[in-house]
Amino acid sequence: MRILCCIKRVPAPGARINVSADGSSVDAAHLGFTTSPHEECAVEEAVRITERGGGEVTVLTVGGAEAGEQLRYAASVGAHRGVLVLTDGSPWDPQRTARALTAAVESLEAADGAFDLILFGNESADSGGFQVGVRVACALGRAVVNGIKGIELSQGEARLRARREIEGGFEVYELGLPAVLGVKEGLNLPRYPTMRGRLASKKLEIATLAPDSSAGGQRLRRLHRPVETVSDTAILGQGADAAAAAVDAIAELGLV
Amino acid sequence: MLLVLIEHDRGVVGAPALEALTFARGLAAGMDADCCGLMIGAGETSAGRAAASLGAHGAARLYTVEHEVLSDFGPEAWGESLAQAVAALQPAAVLACGSERGNEVMAQAAARLDLPFAANCIAVTAPAPPATAGTENGGGSWSVTRVQWGGSLLEDADLAPGAQNEAAFFSCALHTVAPAPLDPPPGAPEMLPVAVELDAEMSRTVVADRVVLEAGVTLPTAPVVVGGGRGVGSAEGFAVLEELAELLGGRVGCSRAVTNNGWRPHSDQVGQTGTRIAPELYIAAGISGAVQHWVGAMASKHILAVNTDPEANMVAKADWAVVGDLHEVIPAITAEIRRRRAQ
Amino acid sequence: MSDFPSNAKCVVIGAGIVGNCLVGHLTKLGWSDLVLVDKGPLPNPGGSTGHASNFIFPVDHNKEMCLLGVQSADQYRELGLSVDSGGIEVARTRQRMDELQRRMTSAKAWGVEARLLSPEEVAELVPFVNSEVILGGFYCPSVSVVDSLETGTVMRRLAVDDGCRVLANTEVLDIVTTPGPNPGESRVSAVVTSAGVIETEYAVIACGVWSNRIANMAGASIPLVPAVHQMADVGPIDVLAQTGNEIGYPIVRDMDTFCYERQSAGSMEVGSYGHRPILHHPDDIPSNEEAALSPTEMPFTPDDFDPQMEQAIELMDMLGDAEIKYAINGLLSLTPDAMPCLGEVPEVRNLWAAAAVWVKEGPGMAQAVAEWMTFGYPRVIDVHGADIARFYPEERSEEHIWARAGEHFNKTYGIVHPAEQWESRRNLRVGPYFSRQQELGAFFFQARTWERPQWYESNADLLQRYDLGEREVEWDNRWWSPIGNAEHLNLRENCGLVDLSAFQIFELNGPGAVAYAERLAVNRVAVAVGRSVYTPWLTPDGGFHSDLTMMRTAEDRVRIVTGVFDGGRDSFWARRHMPTDGSVTFTDITGDITTLGLWGPKAPAVLAAVCDADLSQAGSPYGSLREVELDCVAGAAPVRATLFRISYVGDAGWEIYLSTADGPAVWDALMRVGADFGLRPAGGAVYGTSGRLEKGYRLMGAELESEYNPLEAGLARPRVKEADFIGKEAYLKARAAGEPEVRMCVLTVEDLHDSRGRERYMQGGNEPIVTPDGERIVDSHGRVSRVTSAGPGPSVGKHLLMAYLPAELASPGTRLGVVYMNETFDVRVAGTGAVFDPDDSRMKE
């Protein structure tokens, strides 16, 4: 089975995210970078599928050269190929990203045949646009469902059942392949790379594609931090001695 | 006209649709425009049942779309329906609630029309009249403030539809506004069908089945959530939290560090990539309050933090805090509640 | 906050292992009104303690690091917060196997149990080690894993129970100083925090990687830089999980890859000192809020770690399939010379440093600083190597700190020769003869900032004359040349010219100068103008703080001449104890004055060729100062010079003090006229080592440390002067106690051959002196007999050692052993004085 995972390199922040002075981006000076969490699960799922039934996992991203680190990370946990649509690394609007990815998928498929399954993260951790996967699927004319937290292949990997969480249970979608899914964390618990996996990933040859994509209609003006809600925290005390005060507070809410 | 996607599940309209209407009608008022609802895949009966409430929340008219493919929710069919309705009705903008379905259908429709879509806005300003082109909000661009990082950052952005008179797509971030009926409520809106043509292939992404997993209280609806973080230390360490949650009729939640350590299933994870909770009381034990977690918990009505670090982010954001080791504090709270109940 | 401590006796900044232990130790020593401040939360405020690997390998070649490490390990043990896991340093190369022999020697010196293991024995203790890739191991059963966070908490509580206030999540914004007590000085008056201002008498900076930034607030510096130490936690690994313990196997240090593997419950922590040096500016460390993990757990840069992974898998194959669950670029503190920064900072009174201290030595160093603050000098051991006053201004620049930290980071597990020289930041300070020396092929050693010729390649022709050659074993030959011995023999036969520009020269001026000099010195400085005094300065407990020369150059003026290794400390000591009535001023005149040493039987004749003064013993008696004029260039005005008849090499001659500008002319003149007398330049190998050792002269920092007093060192005069001086009470007590328990001795090595028949030469790196039975020799204070200096005695035909020996072993002729490279060599006690010209006739004839 040929599976494509589209991933995004995002900063890994702590309790406070700082914005660059001009508001154009997150100040990542002190931050490491990671793969957007939903997409880590996408890669994990793809790797598990190919580990079970054979096939190949390709990981695709749009970004600056440094986004190669995330492709390598994917390779370190089992992905087979990495493709980078090389940009100057500045943030792209969702339409532009989708156009670039669509072109990349078309080019990859023209060379090596169609992907049976394309996985996106439901939304990126940073900009959270909730649309790139859908746009690519529509452009490719493929079925797409978002919010997926469970995938079962059936009929000799010709179809799949995808689960989406709803209140008190889940919905099931049954799709023929090829298909596109937007997945969410919880789909699986992604593995960490092994040392050998990491070392092997150094040998990954990252294929680079030139972007061919025009800007869409959304333009970032500036990022800013929301006004912090300053809570007047009442410190009820230290240790177990504060239990009575804590229960008083809970009782105020009528919960005791 | 502003067209509002009325989210529903097999005819049952929930809070998201009313939030979207409440949000949109404020915007419409400023633009001197109508605010209309679009209900996809609802028969006259269910649309009629909802009409009064939708009207009360600001829908001047209610457009309905019926098609055999629309027997149940399907993102492609809904998205295509919305796209065709937009083409037919020529609204200035389309709004939905930034729920899972809302964002998905908006993305589908915007994709089909190749128009921009800004998800999870907390503020939308219409373009200024053409005369003021060149000013910040002039030149035909919509100006939005939308959520990034699950709410930890805000983005000011311009949204410029491709050509004159093309619609812009927005969703409002969940819980940005509380659904509020107009006072006095206007009469039920006029119901107008919109015809769409849907390829039978669209049925490929219609919900095929549903599985009910559990009865009773779930994490998103629990009145009390007892959350544990890295400070719990182990899977076994959650026993004290389970005990307290049960006592209070709540559920146990956890931070991403906990699921990554394999101590709890992901379904218990509260956070940007997990579940968003809005309980009456959130007891956050051993949770520092990193961005990832906080954005999932920030809708809690009250927060009691238990942490060894009095300046942990979660403590700063809590209503009450106990400074100390959760393994001492939580059992003591449990015992105290039992003692009072026994009295 | 009404209960904010707006007044304190002492504010300790930083609640890591050091700050916590410091408030604990201060409390034990009777301090009260303490405040402990940290900008982060407790118990882990986010500094280096929070991510430390928390293990202690006690053996170190350096005495301070080793003994304070052992002391720290004992403190952790006493609190029950330590597990003796054992540890093995494995060798992959022959050179490392030699180094492990040296480790065995240091283990013996410091009394740490250790043994060498074959690869198979390593594999018995740590079955997952691939014994194929190693040649052997150095096993130390007392290697321990400690709980530094809990230890900090316990020590902090100890202080809190006695009233110490703790302000967590409170950032220090400024340290306020007030001028005085002497002109140009300042003292701590308050610490400004984000929670309010604390007026305080003392402040201690114990905030690890942030220390320099905090010190800068007060106009001081703590020369250290935050540096990355990469660490990856990999697992789960069944064989580790099955132990059911935090640590069930000995820690393995893979020395040749600069890596360690330390079990942490079910996983393995792989830490590295092998990656490129990655240094950060303190301002680039994120805040607690910004950091994804903690401020000092910076984002991992995997490319830097990859080579280490390959090596780790080579040593422990199972690691290859373990998942990398957690990996950090952990920050720790590095200084320009790889030693900590302890003590009062020279720039600001009552502002103390306890920084660049790692978990492995934290409790011990905290104790040392607490004692220092309480008693005027540490009692646990001498810490001159860690004394922050040691740094010269050039060593405090960011450029210097970064260059040196970058150079020594990869030597953390390196094989570092005792005489190893730095590559970076050379030629910071040079004497006026530097270009001439370069032309003569001088091989320079850098003494702190000063370049000093160690020997001159231009003297290579002497090797044939004296029939000298290289040493047999490369290690013994490293940073050494037989030319030094040739220069020595030529000096004894003819005459040598020694560049002493690196002398640090200070002046006390004013009506109180002589009285103050008396207060500093053990020996009487109130001598006639023109006389000089060689004297110790003592710590309040009566041990050596300094050992130097004081010259009464005028009625109201005393010149202090000390060695370049001690200049910073001596300068600070002299300024710190100065009277505050304005009667004395202190001036550093090092830059104005250059010194040449001219010694040898022909030195008087050489000097007479340019000097008309009476240079006989009568005209220029031993120990006297004499102002003269030197005729250096025909037709030019003579050069004024001060002759000081003294010798540190054992031959007749002078230290010649000159204006720096006049130096080159005098050098040229002496070289010119000396040619007829066989004069050759002689380097530090003669002045500092061979000449000195043949005369048994003691060197500060080697023979002379604060654990020893003048009686033991053999430097006590028959009578004690009337005037009071620092340490007098303790000194009198020691004298009253009678014969000292130990005496400083010179020993000769009787047989240099090792078991393989090779001649070996001890380096003076704390090699233990042992009884004929091979037992360590330890006195009742726990002080061990070890080699404090070693070097050739070309004129006596023996390799010479200096060591303190118990009185009963100090008699000439006593046969003992010295352990070098883990082999014992026969030595013989020569005595407590000179082995060459013991009655000093050559100097004083």
Task: At C170, list the tokens.
Answer: 């409170």
Which residue segments constitute the domains of chain B, with CATH numbers given?
Answer: 2-205 (3.40.50.620), 224-342 (3.40.50.1220)
Q: Is residue C154 part of a domain?
A: yes
Model pLDDT for residues C535-587, shown as the tens digit of each residue? 999 999 999 999 999 999 999 999 999 999 999 999 999 999 999 999 999 99
Nearest by CB to residue A193, choosing from C289, C299, C323, is C323
Q: C41 and B312: CB-CB below 8 Å?
A: yes
Q: B310 and C43: CB-CB below 8 Å?
A: no
Please give the interface size between B and C, counted as residue pairs whose CB atoms are below 8 Å apart. 16
**What are the residues of chain C with a beta carbon less than 8 Å away from any beta carbon of chain A?**
232, 234, 284-293, 298-300, 302, 306, 309-310, 312-313, 319-325
What's the burial of C176, exposed, middle or buried (CB within 10 Å: 0-12/13-18/19+)?
middle
- Can you tell me the mean pLDDT for B256-260? 85
* CATH code, domain carrying C172: 3.50.50.60
Q: Is residue C834 part of a domain?
A: no
What's the confidence (pLDDT) of residue A40? 96
DSSP for C173-234, written as a single string: EEEEEEE-SSTT-EEEEEEEETTEEEEEEEEEE--GGGHHHHHHHTT-----EEEEEEEEEE
Give yes or no for C43 touching B (CB within 8 A).
yes
Q: What is the mean pLDDT of chain A?
A: 94
State the nearest Cα–Cα gap between C269 and chain B, in angstroms: 17
Backbone dihedral region for residue B52 (phi beyond 0: left; psi -120 to 50: alpha; all else: beta): alpha
The residue in chain C having the minimum alpha-carbon distance to the alpha carbon of residue A196 is C320
What's the confidence (pLDDT) of residue A16? 85
Superfamily of domain A2-252: HUPs (3.40.50.620)
Which residue, of C668, C696, C723, is where some domain finishes?
C668
Contacts of C41 in chain B (CB under 8 A): 308-312
Q: Is residue C397 part of a domain?
A: yes
Give yes or no for B308 touching C (CB within 8 A).
yes
The domain ranges of chain A are: 2-252
Give yes or no for A236 touching C (CB within 8 A).
no
Does residue C251 sit in the same domain as residue C383? no
**DSSP designation for C624:** B
- Can you tell me the mean pLDDT for C770-792? 97
What's the confidence (pLDDT) of residue B131? 47
Q: A128 and B333: CB-CB below 8 Å?
A: no
What's the confidence (pLDDT) of residue A230? 66
The neighbouring-strand residues paired with B13 are: B8
For residue C273, how far is the Cα from the chain centroid? 22
Contact (CB, 8 A) for C8 and C32: no
B110: nearest Cα among A75, A129, C178: A129
Domain count, chain C: 3
Does residue C210 sit in the same domain as residue C246? no
- CA distances to C499, C533, C534, C579, C589 from C560, in Å: 18, 10, 10, 17, 10
Least confident of A26-35, A74-83, B92-101, B290-299: B290-299
Give yes or no for C808 touching B (CB within 8 A).
no
Does residue C26 sit in the same domain as residue C59? no
What's the confidence (pLDDT) of residue B139? 57
Cα–Cα distance, C236 to C239 (Å, whole number) = 9
Give yes or no for B308 touching A (CB within 8 A).
no
What's the confidence (pLDDT) of residue B230? 84
Contact (CB, 8 A) for C223 and C401: yes
Nearest by CB to residue A125, choosing from B149, B151, B210, is B149
What's the confidence (pLDDT) of residue B136? 44
Whether A176 has a pLDDT exceeding 70, the answer reads yes
Model pLDDT for residues C632-686, shown as the tens digit of each residue? 998 999 999 999 999 999 999 999 999 999 999 999 999 999 999 999 999 999 9
Q: C41 and B313: CB-CB below 8 Å?
A: no
- CA distances to A128, C106, C504 from C571, in Å: 62, 32, 9
* CATH code, domain carrying C635: 3.30.1360.120
Cα–Cα distance, C211 to B91 (Å, whole number) = 62
Q: Percentage of residues in chain C with pLDDT exceeding 90?
A: 95
Give yes or no for B312 touching C (CB within 8 A).
yes
**Most B CBs within 10 Å: which of C171, C194, C267, C288, as the mutation test of the B interface?**
C288
Does residue C163 sit in the same domain as residue C244? no
- CA distances to C13, C32, C221, C374, C533 from C28, in Å: 19, 10, 29, 11, 40
C377: nearest Cα among C705, C75, C28: C705
Q: Which helix (H) or strand (E) holds B166?
A: none
Q: Is residue C705 part of a domain?
A: no
Which residue, of C376, C396, C411, is where some domain finishes?
C411
The residue in chain C having the minimum alpha-carbon distance to the alpha carbon of residue B323 is C42
Give yes or no for B235 touching A (CB within 8 A).
no
Q: B98 and A130: CB-CB below 8 Å?
A: yes
Does residue C128 sit in the same domain as residue C230? yes
Contacts of C321 in chain A (CB under 8 A): 194-196
Q: C292 and A16: CB-CB below 8 Å?
A: no
Confidence of residue B142 (pLDDT cuts 50, 70, 90): very high
Task: At A145, list the tokens.
Answer: 């469902």
State the nearest Cα–Cα gap between C488 and chain A, in angstroms: 57
Q: Which helix (H) or strand (E) holds C160?
A: helix C148-160
Q: B313 and C43: CB-CB below 8 Å?
A: no
Does residue C374 sit in the same domain as residue C236? no
Task: At A50, list the tokens.
Answer: 């190919």
Q: Is residue C514 part of a domain?
A: no
Q: Is residue C702 part of a domain?
A: no
Does residue C64 sit in the same domain as residue C117? yes
What's the confidence (pLDDT) of residue C607? 97
- Can you tell me the mean pLDDT for C426-448? 97
Chains with 3 or more CB pairs closer than 8 angstroms to C? A, B
Does residue C369 sit in the same domain as residue C235? no
**Most C CBs within 10 Å: which of A16, A18, A30, as the mutation test of the C interface?**
A30
Does residue C201 sit in the same domain as residue C235? no
Q: B157 and A221: CB-CB below 8 Å?
A: yes
Least confident of B148-157, B285-294, C406-415: B285-294
Give yes or no for B309 touching A (CB within 8 A).
no
Contact (CB, 8 A) for A233 and B316: yes
Contacts of A135 in chain B (CB under 8 A): 107, 110-111
What's the confidence (pLDDT) of residue C200? 98
Does residue C251 sit in the same domain as residue C313? yes
Q: Is residue C636 part of a domain?
A: yes
Does residue C32 sit in the same domain as residue C61? no
- Can you tell me the mean pLDDT for C13-40? 97
Cα–Cα distance, C625 to B208 (Å, whole number) = 107
Give yes or no for C236 touching B (CB within 8 A).
no
**DSSP designation for C769:** E
Confidence of residue C130 (pLDDT cuts 50, 70, 90): very high
DSSP for C526-594, written as a single string: ---TTBEEEEEEE-TTSSEEEEEEEEEEETTEEEEEE-TTTHHHHHHHHHHT--SSSS-EEEE-GGGEE
Cα–Cα distance, B229 to B256 (Å, whole number) = 8
Q: What is the mean pLDDT of chain C?
A: 96
Q: C234 and A198: CB-CB below 8 Å?
A: no
State the nearest Cα–Cα gap between C42 and chain A, in angstroms: 13
Whether B309 has a pLDDT exceeding 90, the answer reads no
Confidence of residue C2 (pLDDT cuts 50, 70, 90): very low
Which residue, of C365, C386, C411, is where some domain finishes?
C411
What's the confidence (pLDDT) of residue B267? 85
Model pLDDT for residues C140-197, shown as the tens digit of each residue? 999 999 999 999 999 999 999 999 999 988 999 999 999 989 988 999 999 999 999 9
The residue in chain A having the minimum alpha-carbon distance to the alpha carbon of residue B103 is A130
What's the confidence (pLDDT) of residue C160? 95
Contacts of C132 (CB under 8 A, 6+ apart): C119
C225: nearest Cα among C355, C348, C364, C327: C355
CB atoms within 10 A of CB A106: 12
Q: Percentage of residues in chain C with pLDDT exceeding 70?
A: 100
Describe the strand order of the beta sheet including C144-146 as a list of residue ranges. Answer: C55-56, C144-146, C82-84
What's the confidence (pLDDT) of residue B135? 45
Instruction: Please state the ipTM of this predicted complex.
Output: 0.94
Nearest by CB to residue B308, choosing from C43, C289, C292, is C43
**DSSP designation for C425:** S
Give yes or no for B309 touching C (CB within 8 A).
yes
Beta strand pairing status for C798-806 and C742-749?
Answer: antiparallel
Burial A188-225 (b: 16+ CB within 10 A, else e): bebbbbbbbbbbebeebebbebebebeebbbebbebee
Q: C324 and A192: CB-CB below 8 Å?
A: yes
State which residues form the domain around C651. 590-668
Q: Which helix (H) or strand (E) holds C10?
A: strand C7-13
Confidence of residue A54 (pLDDT cuts 50, 70, 90): very high
What's the confidence (pLDDT) of residue B161? 74
What's the confidence (pLDDT) of residue B130? 56
What's the confidence (pLDDT) of residue C1? 40
Model pLDDT for residues C46-93, shown as the tens digit of each residue? 999 999 999 999 999 999 999 999 999 999 999 999 999 999 999 999
Q: Among residues 168-197 of chain A, which lie with CB inside 8 Å of chain C?
A: 191-196
Give yes or no for B313 touching C (CB within 8 A).
yes
Contact (CB, 8 A) for C36 and C156: yes
DSSP for C751-767, written as a single string: --B-TTS-B----SS-P
Backbone dihedral region for residue B104 (phi beyond 0: left; psi -120 to 50: alpha; all else: beta): alpha
Return the HEC string of C332-396: EEECCCCCCEEEECCCCECEEEEECCCHHHHHHHHHHHHHHHHHCCCCCCCCCCCEHHHCCHHHH
Cis? peptide before C236, omega within 30° of 0: yes
What's the confidence (pLDDT) of residue B215? 67
Model pLDDT for residues B169-227, shown as the tens digit of each residue? 999 999 889 999 998 888 889 999 999 999 999 999 999 999 987 667 788 888 999 99
**Most A CBs within 10 Å: which of B99, B225, B320, B337, as the mutation test of the A interface?**
B320
Q: Which helix (H) or strand (E) holds C452?
A: strand C450-456
In C14-75, the DSSP E strands lie at 34-37, 55-56
Task: At A34, list the tokens.
Answer: 């990671």
Cα–Cα distance, C779 to C793 (Å, whole number) = 28
What's the confidence (pLDDT) of residue B110? 97
Task: At B175, list the tokens.
Answer: 């819980």
The pTM for the full model equals: 0.91
Give yes or no for C169 touching B (CB within 8 A).
yes
3-state class (DSSP) for residue A144: strand
Give yes or no for B311 touching C (CB within 8 A).
yes
Burial C325-342 (b: 16+ CB within 10 A, else e): ebbbbbbbbbbbbbbbbb
In chain A, the DSSP E strands lie at 2-7, 9-12, 32-35, 56-63, 81-86, 117-121, 143-154, 159-166, 169-176, 179-183, 206-209, 218-224, 234-238
Q: Is residue C628 part of a domain?
A: yes
Q: A195 and C313: CB-CB below 8 Å?
A: yes
Does residue C285 sit in the same domain as residue C296? yes
State the nearest Cα–Cα gap between A228 and chain B, in angstroms: 9
